[in-house]
């Protein structure tokens, strides 16, 4: 079993839709949870950064962590064509511990 599981997609939605991207993980030591966005031929860009369980909202983006079920979600409201990218979940134990990346979910928002 991989430490972090993420549906690779691709996920195709119409503009304005609500998008839900999800990851599961197996390592109970993970305390910090990141979402990175990666455009084609670019490096990953930090989108959201949360600690422990709960929700965090930033504009159209909401990150949700449920440590009891080891489930991580990213919601995108009012999705835009510019949101078309690959989204990587990346949990970590924190400090200088290694970040473990999911395989990424490729999202396409159709105008």
Partner 1 sequence: EAGVAQSPRYKIIEKRQSVAFWCNPISGHATLYWYQQILGQGPKLLIQFQNNGVVDDSQLPKDRFSAERLKGVDSTLKIQPAKLEDSAVYLCASSLGNQPQHFGDGTRLSIL
Least separation in angstroms between CB 104 and partner 1: 5
What percentage of the chain's residues is helix, strand, coil (to nearest 5)?
5, 55, 45
Confirm if 108 and 80 have CB atoms less than 8 A apart: no
Confirm if 5 and 52 have CB atoms less than 8 A apart: no
Tokens encoding 48: 């959201």
Q: Which residues form the interface with partner 1 (CB under 8 A)?
A: 4, 6, 8, 32, 34, 36, 41-46, 49, 88, 90, 94-96, 98-99, 101-104
Least separation in angstroms between CB 2 and partner 1: 10
By beta-carbon proximity to partner 1, the closer residue of 82 and 96 is: 96
Least separation in angstroms between CB 111 and partner 1: 25
């Amino acid at each position: 079993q991989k430490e972090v599981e993420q549906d690779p997609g691709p996920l195709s939605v119409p503009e304005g839709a609500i998008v839900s991207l999800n990851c599961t993980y197996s390592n109970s030591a993970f305390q910090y949870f990141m979402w990175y966005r990666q455009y084609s031929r670019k490096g990953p860009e930090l989108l959201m950064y949360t600690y422990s369980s709960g929700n965090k909202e930033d504009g159209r983006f909401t990150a949700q962590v449920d440590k009891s079920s080891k489930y991580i979600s990213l919601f995108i409201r009012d999705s835009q064509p510019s949101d078309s990218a690959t989204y990587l979940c990346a949990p970590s134990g924190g400090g200088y511990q290694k970040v473990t990346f999911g395989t990424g979910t490729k999202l396409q928002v159709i105008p």
